[in-house]
Amino acid sequence: MDQYRELLKNKKRIVVKIGSSSLRHKETGDLDYIKMETLVRELCDLKNRGKDVILVSSGAIAAGKKVMHLKNEDHEIAVQQACAAIGQARLIETYEKMFSEYGHVAAQVLMTKNTIINDLNRFNAHNTFIELLKLGAIPIVNENDTISTYEIKFGDNDTLSAIVAALVGADLLILLSDIDGLYTDDPRSNPNARFIPIVPELTSDIMGMGKKTTGSDVGTGGMDTKLSAARIATSSGADMIIANSKDVHIIHRIMDGRSFGTLFLANRDDNFFIGDYLKED
């Protein structure tokens, strides 16, 4: 297993996804600036190592609700879309300030399913990402919740991050979550659940370990979405890691080849096409 971890040091294009619950204080729902700054510092250090870095960051709707003093509960779509517009501005402004402190440029990219399903939109999105990376910018990606309807939503940023990884030809996707990685069962309810450090292949048994529940009332992605993301990422030729976001320093530890999280090994499928995957969804 160590040989596979060692190879992570050589990954050149990395997508990192962090969820809403990882960016906020549980007690108040406010942004956790210390964790955000640590995340930014970790990503800037990857850039300084010569890596291409893309961040997929949730949190726009939750941030907007907090600004407008709305409780964290279900609201009609129009309210959520308005909160997304408010919160996305707050989120990207915070990121932009933090990245600039370390001498790096952040760029905002908002996507819907139509970005990928439509051939011209997908072509343009790919070119935009590649040009941003050539310029040395760090794209910050989120779903465009302000205009998304059910039919054109990704639904969760685990899926979105895997789609982005496939779109840009990334060789590593890191999903930062509230769990250490993949277990044989939910460790929060089953003390006998066994941790799985490496997944060479996504068998039906592995896919069956997905749980739809999430430990947070802010995030939307459970283990089932992460395993679906693993299928997309590994089929496109990228390794993927699920790791705990409690200490965001875990990013450089992973990139140093240390054994953190669950590593899903790439199994490129020459017939895989991301547009087809979303059309079937």
* 3-state SS, residue 218: coil
Number of domains in the chain: 1
What's the CA gap between 262 and 260, in Å, rounded?
A: 7
Asked whether the predicted pLDDT for residue 280 surpasses 60, the reply is: no
Kindly report the pTM of this predicted structure: 0.90
| Average pLDDT, integer, range 88-114 | 94
Query: Which band of pLDDT confidence, cut at 50, 70 and 90, is reported for residue 150?
Result: low
| Average pLDDT, integer, range 192-218 | 77
- Report the mean per-residue pLDDT for the chain: 88
Please report the sign of the dihedral spanned by the C-alpha atoms of residue 280, residue 272, residue 125, residue 224.
positive
* Boundaries of domain holding 91: 2-280
Check if the beta carbon of residue 23 is closer than 8 Å to that of residue 35: yes
Asked whether the predicted pLDDT for residue 147 surpasses 80, the reply is: no
Let me know the angle formed at the C-alpha of 58 by 57 and 63, rounded to the nearest 5 degrees: 120
Give the pLDDT score at 16: 98
Check if the beta carbon of residue 211 is closer than 8 Å to that of residue 186: yes
pLDDT tens track for 249-266: 999 999 999 999 999 999
| Average pLDDT, integer, range 203-213 | 77
Helix axes 77-101, 60-67, angle to 10 degrees: 100
Give the pLDDT score at 274: 76
Q: Out of 66-75, 90-99, 199-208, which region has the weakest mean confidence (pLDDT)? A: 66-75
Domain of 266, CATH number, reads 3.40.1160.10
Asked whether the predicted pLDDT for residue 40 surpasses 50, the reply is: yes
Asked whether the predicted pLDDT for residue 279 surpasses 90, the reply is: no
Asked whether the predicted pLDDT for residue 216 surpasses 50, the reply is: no
